[in-house]
Amino acid sequence: MVARNLEFCRNAIERAAVGAGRDPFGITLVGVTKGIELPLIFEAIDSGLKHIGENRIQEALLKFEPVNAYAKSKGRRIIWHMIGHLQTNKAKDAVRLFELIHSVDSLRLAQEIDREAKKVSKVQDILLEVKTSPETTKFGFPPDEALYAAREILSFRNINVKGLMTIAPAVSDPEQARPYFSRLKSLLDELNRLRISDFGFRILSMGMTGDFEIAIQEGATMVRVGRGIFGERNK
């Protein structure tokens, strides 16, 4: 099942990218393993999945070693992504586990990540989470505060801001998610026009199982897919 689903997702990514005049190889598929048991994750690795996203530190701690060991036994290396809301008291573990933290949603959290990364001589790659929808349950910087936040965080020596992330609201029609993805792409373009970073902001993490094709049409460079790969997760 997992192999078939992965192939379906890759084909859908390719179709969406080509249809938008984009290179499919410029889009990274992150497999979301929240609530997914190890055998299914191993099956995904066997089918070529390289990027794994976790929502919770506690769950990532349980999976990190066995998943890495399995991948190593197959001659592969997993790139870990923190995609869920991150509390400041979990920053130490996040810096140890993840290559890219998608969900930096406050200056306080960025400061804590910078502090923990400095302790281990690491420059931590992050994305700024932007709250493009009005839902009170969502986290992230308001769009009109993202420029200020980016400028502040770029001054931290042990953080590298690679781009932006958003979560669109749950909608019945994927087309209804398009304005939220378009808003994030416009914000990324604005940040790059202002040249506040020497290296530019390259990553747009947006789109999940139900709407990743729309996100790709609007410029996503990373899509986060769980159910579309692994089926319904355990509660």
pLDDT per residue as tens digits for the range 154-210? 999 999 999 999 999 988 899 999 999 999 999 999 999 988 887 889 999 999 999
| pLDDT tens, N- to C-terminus, the chain (235 residues) | 999 999 999 999 999 999 999 999 999 999 999 999 999 999 999 999 999 999 999 999 999 999 999 999 999 999 999 999 999 999 999 999 999 999 999 999 999 999 999 999 999 999 999 999 887 778 999 999 999 999 999 999 999 999 999 999 988 899 999 999 999 999 999 999 988 887 889 999 999 999 999 999 999 999 999 999 999 876 5
Q: What is the CB-side half-sphere exposure of residue 119 using CA atoms within 13 A?
A: 10
Q: Is residue 200 assigned to a domain?
A: yes
Q: Domain count for the chain, please give it.
A: 1
pTM to 2 decimal places:
0.96
pLDDT of residue 134: 82
Please report, to the nearest 10 degrees, the dihedral formed by the alpha carbons of residues 138, 33, 172, 7 taken in order.
140
Residue 233: inside a domain: no
Does 22 map to a domain? Answer: yes
Determine contact, residues 12/29, Cβ cutoff 8 Å: no
Amino acid at 7: E
What is each CA distance from 122 to 7, 46, 69, 103, 200, in whole angstroms?
35, 30, 22, 18, 20
Residue 182 within any structural domain of the chain: yes
pLDDT at 136: 76
pLDDT of 133 = 87
Q: What distance in Å separates the CA atoms of residue 197 and residue 130, rounded to the nearest whole number?
A: 18
CB 166 within 8 A of CB 203: no
Domain that holds residue 173: 2-228
Return phi, psi of residue 6, to 5°.
-60, -45
The 10 Å CB-count burial string (b at 16+, else e) for 221-234 is bbbbbbebbbeeee
Asked if residue 234 is part of any domain, the answer here is no
The CATH number that applies at residue 215 is 3.20.20.10
Residue 216 lies in a domain: yes
Residue 78: DSSP 8-state: P
Task: Tell me, yes or no, whether 35 lies in a domain.
Answer: yes
**Residue 235 belongs to a domain:** no
